[in-house]
A and B are shown apart, each in its own frame.
Chain A
């Protein structure tokens, strides 16, 4: 496995880019550490697949260099880069058995038969298809085929990195749990460098040690799952991560207090600069008899908790209320200061003690 350096990588699908707008991927200068598990997360069109394709060699970046363990691979083909890839839809040989599908990439590289057998059986066990080894791949269900694709990505241990492009989209929810925790265990055991592209926040956050959040062709934040949740650097991160996303309210800040209409909100500290927006996740909005009065517009009971939609000083706000908690007849909300972040022009402003 290798570390992957993105050295001032930029990409434009336009021949002569004139402005930032012409870049599908704006400048990225970052190192994926050897043995790290990373997720690229963002909506469609954010540039995450472009970035993945540049790493895999399916696409040549229009600017910048790509290094594997310090070696320049910018001009090498996908094959020469020696990486494994798993795509959104199954890529398998229908006429081969499940076993041979997994053995194929190993035999191609002249791996000794005993080693092939050991690796294939180990991988079959992991993807839960041991009993299907002798079956032809044709006639399997879509999620079984996708498991074979995953297996093919994982069967080789000599690759520089394993790249995943939305690999679990076609997999049933229960199987997603199983495969996700297996990928994690595998990562821990073998220390593969893994890069995982997804638009599903749960997949990204549970899989990766570091999540790269992309929006509009640029990286807006790279961080651990808890950093993305607690301290979103950009209001887009607050919105995209979490369900419902972070509430963003226009405020006037005076010292350690924010004013929203006629209401005052205590801040965790004074911002080190001008701030005009207050961000707070629904998890930190406490509904009860204390605080600012709100008008509840809708309560969604989704089993393990309720999502309360309300208006506060003319602004829409979401709050989360526990399964066994009730909502008072005259509800009020209190903002837990620990959950408050301040923003100016969508970017987070640090607060002092």
Chain B
């Protein structure tokens, strides 16, 4: 397993990574989720041994490898901005780690062709990378990582430049390949949807810190703080600051949401109440859903669903509504908040309690 203990990386006085501790098992899929500059690439470089931590330790299978350079570790890393050998054919690019490892030509041929087939590169094996599209070059870099058979594979937003449907396919295939090989697989993305589709475990990153690490769906459903909840929401998380008084959260003249049962005992005061865009609806799906009047600022239609942007008091929300719904800007609509899925955060942004238990 790969273990990071209290790893910090400081560059020119700025903390790029702050006190990160993580343990990743063999055969596991681990997603690093966070916006640009949250520290995903820096953390991967520390995991790979491309950079040494300023403080803290990195262990591999119990052995301290802090400061052991990448050449002496069995690691493959693929960046969003792919790197290939320009003078070599696609075939030779993919074969290169096998040649370095001294594999015989029969094995090289078999593995190169297998990886090429998977990544739909078979027709391009004789070309050089410069004669390929960006997506094909990226797939060449991915194929090389596959044949390398590394014990640690780090992919940094590897599918960002690829076609939507190809991404869908590779997102399903890549984890399978690496899981079968027992690889520790680390995958960085800015997209919550991609993390959910990959499954496995997710570490959410913000400003160089890991805010939470756990099974992906658990982190999504039970974020420990507001930063994590926001990182893991796309469309953006809907929030509003409300005052708790007795059994309800309220805003003068506007809204009254029930305090979820599990946290009924919390002190009165200000809290941030949050819910996902699909937990607000034009229809009353459950008896407990709370009605309120909001103003439409814009509507986007994807063909099967509508993203309706709403203004409510000082808050800007997005409602994800199945079906096609046209609204004029500034039109007032009645909407219902599904109170079963409310998340409540204190003024410091910590979850008062992770979201309410879902209806069984």
Give me the interface of A with B, judged by CB distance under 8 Å: 43-45, 141-143, 169-170, 172-174, 177, 180-181, 184-185, 188, 199-202, 205-206, 225-226, 228-230, 239-245, 281, 283, 300-304, 323-324
Contact = CB atoms under 8 A, between A and B. Distances in A.
A304 B302 contact: no
Nearest to A241: B303
Contacts of B297: 181
Contact of A44 (B37, B133, B302): B133
A33 to B, nearest CB: 19
Interface of B: 35-37, 133, 135, 160-161, 163-166, 168, 190-193, 196-197, 199, 217, 220-221, 234-236, 276, 278, 297-298, 300-304, 307, 309, 318, 320, 322, 324, 329, 340, 358-359
Nearest to B234: A173
Contact of B276 (A202, A228, A304): A304
Contacts of B340: 324
B269 to A, nearest CB: 28
A43 B135 CA distance: 11
Contacts of A303: 196, 217, 220-221, 276
B168 A244 contact: yes
B196 A229 contact: no
A43 B302 contact: no
Given A173-B192, A174-B236, A181 B164 contact: no
A188 B302 CA distance: 18
Contacts of B236: 174, 177
Contacts of B301: 205-206, 225-226
Contact of A239 (B165, B276, B278): B165
A330 B146 CA distance: 39
A240 B165 contact: yes
B196 A172 contact: no
21 contacts: A43-B164, A43-B166, A141-B37, A169-B161, A172-B35, A172-B36, A174-B35, A177-B236, A181-B300, A199-B164, A201-B164, A202-B302, A205-B303, A229-B303, A303-B221, A303-B276, A304-B276, A304-B278, A323-B278, A324-B340, A324-B358
Contacts of A324: 340, 358-359
B283 to A, nearest CB: 13
Contact of B307 (A201, A206, A302): A206
B300 A226 contact: no
A45 B124 CA distance: 14
Contact of B234 (A143, A174, A188, A300): A174
B12 to A, nearest CB: 14
Contacts of A240: 164-165
Contact of B300 (A44, A170, A188, A206): A206
Contacts of B220: 303
Nearest to A302: B196
A209 to B, nearest CB: 10
Contact of B298 (A142, A184, A242): A184
Given A43-B164, A303-B276, 15 more contacts: A142-B36, A173-B35, A173-B191, A173-B234, A177-B318, A199-B164, A201-B164, A206-B301, A225-B302, A226-B301, A240-B165, A245-B165, A283-B322, A304-B320, A324-B340
Contacts of A283: 304, 322
Contacts of A241: 303
A241 to B, nearest CB: 6
Nearest to A173: B234
Contacts of A185: 298
A44 B163 contact: yes
Contacts of B300: 180-181, 184, 206
A172 B199 contact: no
Contacts of B37: 141
